[in-house]
Amino acid sequence: MKSTGLFEIPAVILITGMAVATGQTPTAATNAPPPNYDPVAVERGKTTFVGACGFCHGSNAKGGEKGPDLLRSVVVLDDENGNAIGPIILKGRPDKGMPRFPLTPREIADITAFLHNSIKNAIERDNYKILDIVTGDPKAGAAYFNGTGHCNSCHSVAGDLKGIGAKYEPVTLQGRFLKPENLWTEGTPPHRVNAISVTVMLPSGESFTGTPVNYDDFNVALRDANGAYHSFTRRNGVPRVEIHNRLQAHVELLSRYTDADIHNLTAYLVTLK
Amino acid sequence: MKIKLLISSLCMTMAGLAQMLDPALLTRPATDAWPTYHGDYSGRRFSTLTQINQSNVKHLTLAWIFRVHPGITPNAIVGGEGPEPQGPPTDPGTYTIKATPLMVNGILYFSTPDNAWAVDARSGRELWHFTWKGKGGDHIGNRGMGMYGNWLYFETPDNYLVSLDAQTGKERWHRNIADLKQEYFSTVAPIVIGNHVLVGVSGDSLDIPGFLEAHDPETGEIQWKWWSEPLKQGDPGFETWPDEYAMRHGGGMTWVPGSYDPDLHLYYLGTGNPNPVLTGRSRKGDNLYTCSIVALNVDTGKLAWYFQPSPHDTHDWDATQTPVLIDAEIDGKPRKLLGQANRNGYFFLLDRTNGKSVLTAPMIGTMNWSKGIAPNGQPIPDPAKEATIDGVLVSPQTGGATNWPPPSYDPETGLFYVGTSQEYSMFYLTDTDPHPEGWGAAERDAGHLGGDLEAIDIKTGKIVWDHHYPFTGGAVGILTTAGKLLFTGDGSYHLVAFDPANGDILWHAGLADDLSNGPETYMLDGQQYLIAGAGDSLYAFSLEP
């Protein structure tokens, strides 16, 4: 489920348009979320694992020359609190060439926590850590900013973007130029601004402009500069509605960026400390 | 007294018979019934009914609303092996009707995760409610039930196939079909063909293989099992994987119902994406039969042919979207065709006798992952658009240009209708191990250009008309009828009737939520009903008498 994030108030209306589209890509919406494992036990378990098991199963438990990948092991997946892992460690698997390991109950519990925690990390994709994305050429990024991208027609590195590289992590910064927030504060006195505004043109010639509250084929509603709410029935496209997006240039860039442009621009913007 | 007893026992017998599904219903277009997920086996979701039509659609009126109350309610019939729940269910999926209800002999049967209902199709009154005490599993949705005679079938999030007595809602038996601890979960509506109950599975959080199973409708025993991947070197398709280890962990879930051609005796199924999901380093090759449309012999589960819309997918674009069976003339010759509006952004038209491509055409303008279309109709993935550490910008997003909500094909217009969205994401590689696990990469939303209801000419692939939604749109359930009407949702809580020929809006009704299933229609007592699920409620519409 995701929001187009264009409207200030009726997020529920907008979110749901996309709700059915999310298909089979849930995050962690199970009845019983995976338990959290004690990080100290996980760390201890890792050390014990690397020493006792890593030679065959690999230091990350993903398998080595002799031992299988334990993160995809059905035995490990089905295990609860060491009830399957423990006996195998203690008795070994002579038929498969695995010796027995006389580990203590706590060592077994720690290894179990390490293995289950590693699986949990693979499952929980919303928590995957994004690595170093600053690989571009800052000079090429500056050229793009002032040239092909026309970024400088609205932005200034000495003005609104001053210090932007210190304000955000690179991945956040990149996300903000690809898909900027629709709401921000500006002006004197400071006031909230919505990038999207609508103008409703009545057949009488009267028109209303403001922040959209709803927009569909049957109704358009807005809040004007004075905060007054106006709502209109629509039929066959009447009254006519114009949608203005102050961030339209960002939307249009999406089909024009190369990935190198994105990397270079990111590398340039992070230098604006 | 004797007469009364006789009448009452006679009534009970007749009621018992009245509940039965006549198998012949499954092989002809539904009019007085909706006996399987798509209404019939074709997946077209086109009804020949005309009582509600362009001339009177403005007089459609609300007949009833049925709101679900899942969980252990006072009258609920309780099954399942899980612990006693503490209070009512909290997962929103449990309160969202994604199922297309069956309608057989005046009774609607439908399900949400862990719950099933029988509802009087004339009045919207509950006849029974069954609830399942589960052991967990993802509660994202349940697409409905299958029926055989007097027996119903549905799947639970913790991977049980449950059979109920349609008359009473009482459980007959349940069978475990997959291991919850491997992160399998189940959402698909079972499809009943002959004496086969076809069931599939979901789940791509870990690297597990997908499969389709046929079960005996009486006993629940397994009849055959078809794996989405080869299991060992030498099996068909093994050459599209680097090794046995990769193929046995290769994904390919079977979570959307397929379609069936009784003459060819083939079941058509779209399969899920390969695993690891967003990086292909450990699974070089095309990764058959993931992201494929496959034709299976329904008696044996043997593969007759396949077509792979997304070879070596690295963006979660499964090919599970409904394979719609179309009979039409191409170049003056009658053809048995199959159309699919795919999550990857292309519309595919195949010859369903052999799987050969007839046409491949793009559905959205933003798509940027393909280098073109090969002579065999397959898109050619651009390897530069596979996730990198520093990120690549890709459209569509993982959710796809479209998704599971059922599209529709109208044989009278020759147009295929589908809801699409135009969105971008950044894909960042996060797992740099030679053997990544799970998804292996992260996605970040990078922008939306709205969505469209599209009408695609199946013979040219051209979009004949589209209705653009600047802020909403996207995949949505669609129904077309011989009353020259197209019913769908607009993403703004409305159920809308369009003219299928040109996209003009003819009628709408505001609901309390967005359309969450595929709308359906049927005749009862000379009255045509239109049924739509939106959030936690079913809405029934009919014409003023």
Distance separating the N- and C-terminal Cα atoms of chain B: 39
Here the CATH number for the domain that contains residue B515 is: 2.40.10
Q: Which residue has the tokens 């491509």?
A: B357
pLDDT value at B6 more than 60: no
- Which of A7, A8, A16 to mutate: most B Cβ within 10 Å? A16
DSSP state of B209: B
Q: How many CB pairs under 8 A join A and B?
A: 224
Residue B519 near chain A (CB below 8 Å): no
Digit-coded pLDDT (tens) for B295-351? 999 999 999 999 999 999 999 999 999 999 999 999 999 999 999 999 999 999 999
What would the two tokens of residue B197 be? 């109950």
What would the two tokens of residue A115 be? 């293995």
Reference B317, options B204, B234, B417, B207; nearest CA is B204
Burial call B23-57: b when 16+ CB within 10 Å, e when fewer? eebbeeebeebbbbbbbbbbbbbbbebeebbbeeb
CB contact under 8 A, A129 and B430: yes
- Which of B86, B437, B494, B511 to mutate: most A Cβ within 10 Å? B437
pLDDT value at B20 more than 90: no
Q: What is the pLDDT of residue B23?
A: 79
In a domain, B520, yes or no: yes
Q: What is the pLDDT of residue A32?
A: 52
B513 is catalytic: no
Minimal Cα distance from A70: which residue of B? B437
Q: What is the pLDDT of residue A36?
A: 87
Number of domains in chain B: 1
Could you tell me whether strands B520-524 and B357-362 are parallel, antiparallel, or unpaired per DSSP bridges? unpaired
- Band (A9; pLDDT cuts 50, 70, 90): very low
Q: Report which secondary-structure segment, H or E, holds B8.
A: helix B2-19
What would the two tokens of residue B84 be? 């006693």
- Which of B204, B249, B418, B472 to mutate: most A Cβ within 10 Å? B472
Catalytic residue among B138, B158, B207, B316: B316
Burial call A23-38: b when 16+ CB within 10 Å, e when fewer? bbbbeeebbeebeebe
Sheet of strand B60-67, all strands in order from the earlier edge strand to the far edge: B60-67, B537-543, B527-534, B520-524
Could you tell me whether strands B505-510 and A229-233 are parallel, antiparallel, or unpaired per DSSP bridges? unpaired
Reference B397, options B317, B490, B470, B281; nearest CA is B317
Residue B405 near chain A (CB below 8 Å): yes
Domain that holds residue B534: 479-545
Could you tell me whether strands B160-165 and B171-176 are parallel, antiparallel, or unpaired per DSSP bridges? antiparallel
Residue B228 near chain A (CB below 8 Å): no
In a domain, B126, yes or no: no
Percent of residues, chain B, with pLDDT higher than 70: 96
Nearest CA to CA, how far is B203 from chain A (Å)? 8
| Averaged pLDDT score across all residues of chain B | 95
CB contact under 8 A, A21 and B402: yes
Q: Would you say how long chain A is, in residues? A: 273
In a domain, B175, yes or no: no
Minimal Cα distance from B248: which residue of A? A72
Sheet of strand B77-79, all strands in order from the earlier edge strand to the far edge: B77-79, B126-132, B115-120, B107-112, B102-104
Contacts of B181 in chain A (CB under 8 A): 77-78
Mean pLDDT of B63-69: 98
CB contact under 8 A, B441 and A22: no
pLDDT value at A5 more than 70: no
Q: Which residues contact B109 (CB under 8 A, 6 or more apart)?
A: B101, B102, B103, B116, B117, B118, B119, B145, B147, B152, B166
In a domain, B151, yes or no: no
Q: Which residues contact B489 (CB under 8 A, 6 or more apart)?
A: B476, B477, B495, B496, B514, B515, B532, B534
For residue B336, count other CB atoms closer than 10 A to its CB: 16
In a domain, B529, yes or no: yes
Q: What does the alpha-carbon distance between residue B198 and residue B300 come to, in Å, rounded to a whole number?
A: 12
Contacts of A263 in chain B (CB under 8 A): 390-391
Q: What is the pLDDT of residue B24?
A: 78
In a domain, B540, yes or no: yes
Q: Where are the alpha helices (DSSP H) in chain A?
A: 11-17, 39-52, 54-57, 74-78, 85-91, 105-123, 138-146, 164-167, 170-178, 248-253, 259-269
Lowest mean pLDDT among A59-68, B267-276, B483-492: A59-68
Q: What angle do CA B451, B456, B462 make, to 5 degrees?
A: 100
Predicted TM-score (pTM) of the model is: 0.94
Nearest to A128 among B403, B430, B514 (CB): B430
In a domain, B132, yes or no: no
pLDDT value at A233 more than 80: yes
In a domain, B488, yes or no: yes
Residue B513 near chain A (CB below 8 Å): yes
Cα B170 from chain centroid? 26
Q: What is the pLDDT of residue B545?
A: 75
Coil, helix or strand at residue B360: strand
Residue A23 near chain B (CB below 8 Å): yes
Residue A130 near chain B (CB below 8 Å): yes
